[in-house]
Amino acid sequence: MSSKKKIFYIVSHVYKALAFEWIAQGLKDHYDLTFVLLNSTDSALEKIFKHKKNSRNAHTVSE
């Protein structure tokens, strides 16, 4: 049994990005995804990741 390859995204100052939502949804079964969101305030992307299953791999760093 092979382990999933890991992909680590660092996303800075992005409020809403459908592309990252699609990536997270489309690749979750094949890769171990981690997102680090660097924002000065809460973002729509952060809220979406917090409400999705397996959101333990989405982390937020605020100023």
For the chain, give the mean pLDDT: 84
pLDDT at position 2? 62
Concatenating the DSSP letter of every residue in 1-63 gives -PPPEEEEEEEES-S--HHHHHHHHHHTTTEEEEEEEEESS--HHHHHHHHSTTGGGEEEEE-
- Tens-digit pLDDT profile for residues 25-54: 899 889 998 999 898 888 888 888 887 755
pTM of the model: 0.75
- Tens-digit pLDDT profile for residues 9-18: 999 998 888 9
pLDDT at position 6? 92
